[in-house]
Structures are given as C-alpha cells and as structure tokens.
Amino acid sequence: MRITPRAHEIKKVVDILEDPTFDSPEQLAKAVIKEVGDMLQMRDLFVMVHTWADGSKGLNFGPFGAVGEAETFAKKMSFGGTGKVVPLTSSGIMLANHDGKKDGWPGYCWNPECGHAPWTHAVDGASRGKCHLETCNCDKFVKDDPSLKGKKKTVARKAGTSKGVNEL
C-alpha cells in the first residue's frame, strides 16, 4: 500500500520522536507504531473485488490507498475476469464520528472536549455552532488547531508555473 504522508501526520510522529520521556527505544517504537496505526485508521482505503470470466467468485485484493493504485495493480497482474474497486469506510473515521477525535485531527472539531465531525454541529450562520450529540458539551465548532493560531499560513507556489496567455 502506497502512503503519502500528510503534514499533520508527520508533525505527530516528530512530536513523539522528540519526546524525552521515553525510557527505552522499545517504548518509543511502540508509541510510533500505535500513532501510525491510528493515523492509517483515519484513512478511507480501497479493495479490488474480482470475479472470474465464468461468473464465479474470484480473488479480492487490498487494501490500497487510492483507486488508481488498485487499478494499476489489477492491470499489472492481469488475472482475467472482471474487477471492481470498492471503497472501505475506515473504522477509525466511524469511531471518530461517534466518540470524537479528542487528540485533534484536520476536519474535526479541535475543541478538546469534542473532536466530532463538522456535520455533527449545528449550522450557525456561515459557520458551525453547537455539537448535536447529547453527550457533548461543545458550544462552537473549532475549525483549526488552536496551537497554530496567529501563525501565518503560507501557500507554496507550484514549481514551473508560468503565466498563460490570458494571465497578466
């Protein structure tokens, strides 16, 4: 499975690696493996469902990180029959929607008592308000990581971009 690391995932692993409280390399390794496992649970994955030419049940493969990866695999292996890429809804996402992602995750509420998805919050004008879940006391959806508040976000310019004919 090909994995493209995301900035927030790299930051979480770096935080663990720089944490001086681990007594042994084994403890550090356990923490990193658990964190990466949690991260992978927050991704939707795909499987290739296969049927032989005679219609009988075929071979199923996965997980894949993207539809293209599954299709490339199927073309390379050329088993015959037909195949279909099927999305798998992540158990981590389902649990985060139910319990909240309390340790912070992009797209989820950054309120430490909440951590639920945006769609669990009421619409309040142009933003999100109180969390609908009865077990949650969150009164306003917190969109961005509070630790990044005040830091200027810079957008990287794509390399080799040139102005087109209609752009000045």
Q: Is the pLDDT of residue 62 over 70?
A: yes
**pLDDT, tens only, 75-123:** 888 878 888 999 988 888 888 877 777 677 788 888 888 888 888 888 8
Residue with the two structure tokens 């998805």: 117
Report how far Cα 136 is from the mean position of its chain's Cα atoms.
Answer: 23
Q: What 8-state DSSP symbol labels residue 94?
A: H
How many other C-beta atoms are found inside a 10 Å radius of the C-beta of residue 37?
10
With a CB cutoff of 8 Å and minimum separation 6, the contacts of 60 are: 47, 48, 49, 50
Strands 82-88 and 45-51: antiparallel
Tokens of 94: 């389902």
pTM as predicted:
0.64
Model pLDDT, residue 156? 54
pLDDT tens digits, 17-57? 999 999 999 999 999 999 999 888 888 899 999 888 898 99
| Tokens linked to 111 | 């309120």
